[in-house]
Amino acid sequence: MAHKVTLVPGDGIGPEVTQQVVRILEATGVKFEWERYAAGAEAFEIYGEYIPTALYESIERNKVALKGPVTTPVGGGFKSINVTLRKKFDLFANFRPIKNLPGLATHWPGVDLIIVRENTEGEYVGLEHEVVPGVVESIKVITEKGSTRIAKFAFDYARKHGRKKIHSIHKANIMKMSDGLFLRCARQVSEKFPEIFYGEHIIDNTCMQLVMNPYQYDTLLLENLYGDIVSDLCAGLVGGLGLVPGANLGHECAIFEAVHGSAPDIAGKDIANPTALLQSAVLMLLHLDETAAAGKVQAAIEKVYSERKTLTRDVGGSAGTTQFADAILAAIG
């Protein structure tokens, strides 16, 4: 039976990388029925809505989506499509594994980190207003429910996958109430997992520690904004944004997307690295219980990186997006 999956190619480099990832997924032998939708500025031109109602309905039906990046206007314009979808489907856990690929020389080899980012609260609730001209208030929302469930997600994942340590990353020295609540909830959850070390580090120190010695961490538990920033920093540790996958997970639905954005600086040139979305698709295959296919794609990625012959330019190669995907297809056989 085919898996029905909602597909949002996105914009910028989104359509280029999505097209290649779909080609690769279809070569695994797993059957997919894609329901394809535009989102963002492109969707507004077609449907007069930034997120078409049919897209919402498709995700509601299928429960699984694969999504390319969507551009969000800076300092005005429409609300982030990504944030809106995460909120709408209550995809509270943003899961981002950070791992080196073979054959890619980076400052720190053998990095193996898990980022668990709260995905629905914090500064991203979009509550901003002008109090008087020249004064703007932006409201950060942290709740006991939201903090406890993301901490529980992190500890459950750690227990299931034999991870040894979780650090909550915070700024509770300054944001005493909001980050203080986040920490209290994480501490409470940690008591039920005595086999997992629990620690707390302040966000600014953590950034320095990560670039000086990433091996001291295992799983990082963060609020929304801190998780967003630290994800990009950690992507830099293993070779850049072209590589790092992500999953937005809720109790009902899941949207799989790379950490990176629409990369307008390289869009339309067939040079973007599709690895990040491809590794997100591997997470999707695991979610769909297609373990063999997930293993096949991951092994092909590792083979192509080990050989170092057909890599994209962000990781030191000269291949284009399509050429890289061709090499993955050849490795799948």
Asked if 69 is part of the footprint of ligand NAI (rule: CB under 6 A), the reply reads yes
Of 70, 96, 40, the residue nearest 241 (C-alpha): 96
Asked if 71 is part of the footprint of ligand NAI (rule: CB under 6 A), the reply reads yes
Please name the residues in contact with 160: beta carbons below 8 A apart, sequence gap of 6 or more: none
CB of 69 to ligand NAI, least distance (A): 3
Strand-strand pairing, 122-132 and 247-249: unpaired
Q: Is 186:151 a contact under the CB 8 Å cutoff?
A: yes
Distance CA 234, CA 137 (A): 30
Backbone φ and ψ for 129, nearest 5 degrees, come out as -155, 155
Asked if 242 is part of the footprint of ligand NAI (rule: CB under 6 A), the reply reads yes
Instruction: Lay out the site mask for ligand NAI across 20-59 (x = CB under 6 A, - = otherwise).
Output: ----------------------------------------
Asked if 262 is part of the footprint of ligand NAI (rule: CB under 6 A), the reply reads yes
CB of 56 to ligand NAI, least distance (A): 17
CB of 330 to ligand NAI, least distance (A): 21
Instruction: Lay out the site mask for ligand NAI across 296-315 (x = CB under 6 A, - = otherwise).
Output: ------------------x-
Asked if 261 is part of the footprint of ligand NAI (rule: CB under 6 A), the reply reads yes
The SS3 call for residue 112 is strand
Indicate the Cα dihedral angle 253, 71, 318, 21, nearest 10°.
30
Distance CA 295, CA 180 (A): 41
CB of 183 to ligand NAI, least distance (A): 27
Q: What residue ranges bind ligand NAI (CB under 6 A)?
A: 13, 17, 69-72, 82, 241-242, 257, 260-266, 272-273, 276, 314
